Amino acid sequence: MTYIPISPKERDAMLATIGVKTLDDLFKDVPARHRFPKLDLPPALTEMEAAAELADIAASNENVRGDLISFLGAGMYNHYIPSVVDHVLRRGEFYTAYTPYQPEISQGTLQAIFEYQSLMAALTGMEVSNASHYDGATAAAEAVNMAWAQFRGKRKKVVISPTVHPQYRAVIRTYTQGMELELAGDDPNADLGSGPEALMSLIDDNTMLLIVQYPDFFGRIYDYTKLIAGAHGKGALVCVVANPTALALFKTPGEMDADIVVGDGQPLGIPMWYGGPSLGFFTTKKSYVHKMAGRLVGETVDSRGQRAYVLTLTAREQHIKRERATSNICTNQGLLALASAVYMSLLGKSGMRQVAELCYHKAHYAAEQLSKIKGMELCFREPFFHEFALCLDRPAKDVNAHLLEHGILGGYDLGQDYPSLKNNLLIAVTEMNTKEEIDSLVEVLSEVDHG
């Protein structure tokens, strides 16, 4: 299949205009011994064949909308996406445009991003949002870069709660390697039951940033107000990694006086897609906006007196600042910011809250039923949102294998990241899980108990 719309006759006319004989004549600058390699690739498929082949590949997976009942979360969640979202994303005007460098003919994208920024600021309780980062983990790493810039490298310690998502912590380690930072608290062997205030002992005058997660990796909800005040008392900034669905129900990090709120926007109308692409959101206080990385859309007027939007504060970015830019980010997650704006607009005040409450009630029902099974109990007593850690009397791996035989995708095996939790499952429940599904999870797990 080819998408080239040029006939052989037209090609020859073009070659004549250029003044060469053949297409190959255009490549004389390429060293001859390496020119025109034979690529060992399968022959081209027609659209009909490609559609069939891709359908086969996709069908060989077991998906969570038909093949499997899922209780897997750990940073990516199976939520309902209303039909409108994809209808908007499928508009060629949106998905086949570039980053809006020419505002006169890009107001669709620009206003949509401006609205995304506004919705995200409202959801997190913060003053400003950028136009997105790659995902929640890279947004968290960019928070470290922002704090580094804020203190001009004079403070060298980041305190990270061990209950921040293990992959987010890993990405922060990757991003900061060679910066000679101390990453305190990033210890999977730490006491995971001691509560957030225990982190206070790690925060000192050298601390640039404290990072906590809300709800934490085990689904627990803490009020971080006191901890944040304590960190501010030492002059440190505080970043809260938040789940956006939870923010529709619970007190915002903004109310707790967080300086930065980041997270993954996948729950806001983005399919799981085997892990990506999703969306990293990043909101902060207005006073930090010049240090924030990533694109920003601001309101203005055009020459005809119409309200309009442009990319602004671009002097922070790589194309102007080059090696002195705080981040190299260029392409971000534009279309998915649009997806989450459509999702939030559509669900609105009541729908967002309804989804969050459904998750909460269903997760609590599941937790209550599961903890009645002999040999199983909730690992923690704190309030939780839609995810909880279940302590088992045998390895989580075996339990998951048993569940899978019954068509159930069990929870996340916490022993992979936390040595002390090797018999623990992290169970996620969303509005997609029916009572029957939860009951069958309970039933199959009860069999494990007897078996």
Partner 1 sequence: MANATTAPKIVEPTVFDLSSPGRKGVSFPDPDVPRAKLPESMLRKDLPLPELAEVDVVRHYMHLSKFNYSVDGGYYPLGSCTMKYNPKINEDTCRLPGFLFTHPLQPIETVQGNLALMYQLQEWLKEISGFAAVTLQPAAGAHGEFTGVLIMRAYHKSRGDSKRVKMLIPDSAHGTNPASSGMIGLQVVQIPSDARGNVDLKALKEQCDDTVVGMMLTNPNTLGLFDEHIEEVIKLVHDCGGLMYGDGANLNALLGIVRPGDLGFDVMHFNLHKTFSVPHGGGGPGSGPVGVVAHLADFLPEPLVGILEEATDDEPPLFGFIKPAKSIGRMKAFHGHFGGGHVRAFTYIAMHGPDGLKDISQYAVLNANYLLARLRKTYHVPFDRICMHEFVAEGQFAGSDVRALDIAKRLMDYNFHPPTNYFPLIVHEALMIEPTETENKDTLDAFADALIKIADEAKTQPDLLHNAPSTTQFGRMDEVKAARELVLCCWLPEDYAEKV
Ligand X SMILES: Cc1ncc(COP(=O)(O)O)c(C=O)c1O
331 vs 350 by CB, closer to ligand X: 331
Which of partner 1, ligand X, none does residue 365 bind (CB under 5 to 8 Å by kind)? partner 1
DSSP state of 331: S
Minimum distance from CB of 280 to ligand X (Å)?
14
292 vs 344 by CB, closer to ligand X: 292
Site for ligand X in 273-332 (CB under 6 A): 330-331
DSSP state of 193: T
Minimum distance from CB of 51 to ligand X (Å)?
28
Give the sheet arrangement for strand 387-391, strand by strand: 377-378, 387-391, 424-428, 412-413
Q: Contact at 8 Å (CB) between 159 and 224?
A: no
Minimum distance from CB of 314 to ligand X (Å)?
14
Q: Contact at 8 Å (CB) between 410 and 429?
A: no
Minimum distance from CB of 46 to partner 1 (Å)?
7
H or E element that contains 427: strand 424-428
Minimum distance from CB of 7 to partner 1 (Å)?
8
Minimum distance from CB of 319 to ligand X (Å)?
9
Minimum distance from CB of 329 to ligand X (Å)?
7
Q: Contact at 8 Å (CB) between 425 and 400?
A: yes
Give the sheet arrangement for strand 260-264, strand by strand: 128-129, 280-284, 260-264, 237-242, 207-214, 157-160, 182-184
Which of partner 1, ligand X, none does residue 336 bind (CB under 5 to 8 Å by kind)? partner 1
Exposed / middle / buried, residue 147 (Cβ in 10 Å: 0-12, 13-18, 19+): buried
85 vs 131 by CB, closer to ligand X: 131
Q: Contact at 8 Å (CB) between 175 and 144?
A: yes
Look up residue 374 and give its two tokens.
């002999």
97 vs 190 by CB, closer to ligand X: 97
CA torsion through residues 234, 235, 241, 242, sign: positive
| Cα–Cα distance measured from residue 132 to residue 125, given in angstroms and rounded to the nearest whole number | 17
Residues near 154 by Cβ (< 8 Å), separated by ≥ 6?
Answer: none
Which of ligand X, partner 1, none does residue 42 bind (CB under 5 to 8 Å by kind)? partner 1
H or E element that contains 183: strand 182-184
| Distance separating the N- and C-terminal Cα atoms of the chain | 56
The SS3 call for residue 232 is helix
Task: Name residue 285's amino acid.
Answer: K
Minimum distance from CB of 392 to partner 1 (Å)?
17
37 vs 451 by CB, closer to partner 1: 37
Which of ligand X, partner 1, none does residue 377 bind (CB under 5 to 8 Å by kind)? none
Minimum distance from CB of 377 to partner 1 (Å)?
17
203 vs 212 by CB, closer to partner 1: 212
| Cα–Cα distance measured from residue 56 to residue 52, given in angstroms and rounded to the nearest whole number | 6
Which of partner 1, ligand X, none does residue 75 bind (CB under 5 to 8 Å by kind)? partner 1
Minimum distance from CB of 381 to ligand X (Å)?
45
203 vs 386 by CB, closer to partner 1: 386
Which of partner 1, ligand X, none does residue 446 bind (CB under 5 to 8 Å by kind)? none
Which of ligand X, partner 1, none does residue 334 bind (CB under 5 to 8 Å by kind)? partner 1
Structure-token match 């206080």, residue found: 285
| Cα–Cα distance measured from residue 384 to residue 415, given in angstroms and rounded to the nearest whole number | 20
61 vs 328 by CB, closer to ligand X: 328
Q: Contact at 8 Å (CB) between 208 and 176?
A: no
196 vs 334 by CB, closer to partner 1: 334
Which of ligand X, partner 1, none does residue 26 bind (CB under 5 to 8 Å by kind)? partner 1
Site for ligand X in 328-357 (CB under 6 A): 330-331
Minimum distance from CB of 218 to partner 1 (Å)?
15
133 vs 155 by CB, closer to ligand X: 133
Q: Contact at 8 Å (CB) between 224 and 231?
A: no
Q: How many residues bind ligand X (CB under 6 A)?
A: 2
75 vs 185 by CB, closer to partner 1: 75
Which of ligand X, partner 1, none does residue 104 bind (CB under 5 to 8 Å by kind)? partner 1
Look up residue 11 and give its two tokens.
């090609």
The SS3 call for residue 416 is helix
Which of partner 1, ligand X, none does residue 128 bind (CB under 5 to 8 Å by kind)? partner 1
| Cα–Cα distance measured from residue 445 to residue 435, given in angstroms and rounded to the nearest whole number | 15
Which of ligand X, partner 1, none does residue 302 bind (CB under 5 to 8 Å by kind)? partner 1
Residues that bind ligand X (CB under 6 A): 330-331
